[in-house]
Amino acid sequence: MFPVLLVCVPPLLYCQQFTQLTSPPLTNTPGDSRSVNIVDVNGDGLDDIFISNGLGGGQNNELYLNLGGLQFEAVQNAPIVLDNSPSDGATFADTDNDGDPDAFVVTWYGEPNFFYRNDGISEFTHLPDAVTGTTGTYSETAAFADYNNDGLVDVYITNSDGDLRNMLYKNTGNNGFEKISATWLNEAKPTRAAVWSDFDNDCDQDLYTTNEGSNWNSFYRNDGGGMFVKIIGDPSVAETIGSMTASWGDVNNDGLQDLFVGNAGYFQEKNNRLFINNGNGGFTAASTGPINTDGGCTYGSAFADYDNDGDLDLFVANGFCTGTIVNFLYRNNGAGIFERDTTALPSFQTPCSFGTAWGDLNNDGFVDLVVSTCKNNNNAPQTNHLVFTNQGNGNNWLKINLEGTSSNRSAIGAQVRVTAIINGQTVTQLREISAQTGYCGQNSLTAHFGLADADSIESMAVNWPSGLEQLWGNIAANQTISLVEGQPSTVQTPNVFIRLKVAPNPFGDSLECILETEKPLTDARLVLQDAQGRVVQERNFGKLASGTHNLLLDVPGLPGGVYVLQLMDKGSGQQAAVKVVK
């Protein structure tokens, strides 16, 4: 265990919430590092850490297996840590849907990129002919996403030199990828980050890229069928400020993904930008607040709820700057308004920071922070990575692991919405599973929600990339849930006071239900789902008094099969389910 130092500073009442990890080998292996990817590579329920190194002339990457208790073991002999190349960004997802995440690591200096197939034992076999093959690139990063919703993750690759054209490779299955040719891929700009998100909630992945120097950023709306339309004139692409990173997150809990853009000149500070999704296919610039005025030379960024108070906070990594370099941590006040937190970390000063990522490394319900550090100039020494472990507080939490079946197995692109009563208010939070959460950074694939004083969840909805929506209600806080697409899941529920029976079962053209409730229900509804989890019929009953009720759900013409009938009360969060047969 590490000592907890609590130093509260009025009037903000912030405390030092993190302790810097100093145990080897994770934090005493210097390198000229770039990407941080937090991902469970061996399926043991513990997030591991991959760090790429980009030293000119070549340098091996690092993969650390999580042994539990904040102890890590360096992988020594796997190909993924022996390429001796000038690596840059990286992205992890299950490309062959075999149950473990594969890796794509890009390089600069005209060197070939590397695709690694995970063989389930952390070996990662190098497949030299996959994706870009032996073609030399000046690639900055890459991001897996299933852009065409065929259940296979594809990969988008950014380039900042050479012919300056980014690349999209379609996954054809069996570790094969096909390069896509399209007009929208012909832009020649020095691109750094590529971040996917369904910003307009139409069940497909849209793409935002950051372009450095005097270039506008690029925003592509996915209209389905492999067709992308470039968004022009929106505030999110209206400045030539020189952008390095971008991160998606619903900062004001309105169910829409907002956008942070981090900017930098080469050894020149720039102000960053926060754009609020207006729900009409565009964004509004947040003109006030320290995010927009703090300056910095920003390269990495990532959203997470580090204090578990029910809203997304933001970490910003700065590097390649003159003078003292300081990273930024911003605390969200719940309405998407951010304040600079200068006390939560034991140190904000860094020699030079690049990628960053959040993940719960010790499974205590509070996200920890990893930051890669780099040489600030050619004469600067290589430095150790920064790992900050979250000491937590009294707030509650929920973590969710998703496994796709019709969707890609990593569930990249899935959206999870959790509703709970937080500080007396009904709050719905959104998380989206992503393979790139900032330039050269990937948060854990486990969706994490802070719940503050809520000890249970009223309802939870998962929107899978396949288009399937699944609903659950009345879930206890402070647990990790694993959900498989299309399969009903038994999760811990507190204080169940409702019971549901169906007779007859098998049923005909209607479902006759007997509901017994010990307490009044305020917003009750019946939901019938098929074996794939699709909602095929539902009916709202509103307020129901305590006691016994006979409820009827008409289902004429329903095909034969096995179904799940759920009674959910939004007011109390209560849920009861029974398997029925037609």
pTM confidence score:
0.85
pLDDT in tens, the chain (582 residues): 333 333 343 334 467 899 999 999 999 999 999 999 999 999 999 999 999 999 999 999 999 999 999 999 999 999 999 999 999 999 999 999 999 999 999 999 999 999 999 998 778 999 999 999 888 999 999 999 999 999 999 999 999 999 999 999 999 998 899 999 999 999 999 999 999 999 999 999 999 999 999 999 999 999 999 999 999 999 999 999 999 999 999 999 999 999 999 999 999 999 999 999 999 999 999 977 899 999 999 999 999 999 999 999 999 999 999 999 999 999 999 889 999 999 999 999 999 999 999 999 999 999 999 999 999 999 999 999 999 999 999 999 999 999 999 999 999 999 999 999 999 999 999 999 999 999 999 999 999 999 999 999 989 999 999 999 998 988 999 999 999 999 877 676 665 578 888 888 889 999 999 999 988 998 898 988 876 667 889 999 999 999 999 999 999 989 988 787 888 887 666 777 777 888
| CA 146 from centroid of its chain's CA atoms | 14
* pLDDT for the residue 11: 33
Three-state DSSP class for residue 369 = strand
Measured CA to CA, the distance from residue 575 to residue 190 in angstroms comes to: 52
DSSP 494: S
Residue 365: φ, ψ to 5°: 90, 0
pLDDT the model gives residue 492: 66
Question: Can you tell me which residue has the tokens 């096995």?
Answer: 562
Measuring CA to CA, which residue among 103, 131, 120 is closest to residue 38? 103
For residue 411, what are its two tokens? 């569930």
Q: DSSP class of residue 75?
A: -
| 190: its two tokens | 């020095």
- 66 forms beta bridges with 72
Which long-range CB contacts under 8 A does 19-25 form with residues at least 24 apart?
19/346, 19/388, 19/389, 19/391, 20/345, 20/346, 20/347, 20/386, 20/387, 20/388, 20/389, 21/70, 21/387, 21/388, 21/389, 23/70, 23/71, 23/72, 25/64, 25/72, 25/73, 25/74
Instruction: Count Cβ atoms within 10 A of the Cβ of residue 570 and give its class: 0-12 exposed, 13-18 middle, 19 or more buried.
Output: middle
**What span, in angstroms and rounded, lies between the C-alpha atoms of 374 and 365?**
30
3-state secondary structure 454-511: CCEEEEEEEECCCCCEEEEEEEECCCEEEEECCCCCCCCCCCCCEEEEECCCCCCCEE
Helices (H), 232-275: none
The pLDDT value recorded for residue 93 is 98
Cβ pair 26, 64 in contact under 8 A? yes
